[in-house]
Amino acid sequence: MLTNVEHIGIAVKDITASNELFSKLLNVAPYKSEQVESEGVTTSFFKVNATKIELLEATSPDSAIARFIEKKGEGIHHIAFEVEDIYAEMKRLESEGFILLNTEPKIGADNKLVCFLHPKSSNGVLVELCQERKI
């Protein structure tokens, strides 16, 4: 079951400049930055009350973020929803006709297991499912 919006992902060309911009906009500094090798990105997270914003900069020209920026420019890349059980939610959504971009959850940023839904099956919106990893 989807429990809430976990974060909104924004593709950026220059994470340093974007960190400065969003720090001014949101009046907070990023609380976390990390590289996600599997996705070829560097991320920064901002939090205002319960709302989280993830900035994503490509670390490789063939990453999904690099291709997105080349095609569409900087901007909103995805919306992520928190789920209680990512495996059950993946199965449910697939049975409802959504196209999963991965058959197993991957390790994502911010200590999450993640799975993406193909935008073709969700009105052009890239949807990410997130579940907190239990370490």
> pTM, whole model, 2 decimals?
0.91
**Residues forming beta bridges with residue 114, ordered by sequence position:** 106, 130
Round to whole Å and give the CA distance between 96 and 39.
27
Measuring CA to CA, which residue among 56, 71, 87, 78 is closest to residue 5?
78
Mean pLDDT (whole number) for 41-48: 96
- Pairing between β-strand 112-117 and β-strand 32-36 as defined by DSSP bridges: unpaired
Strands 75-83 and 112-117: unpaired
User: Which band of pLDDT confidence, cut at 50, 70 and 90, is reported for residue 116?
Assistant: very high
pLDDT of 38? 85
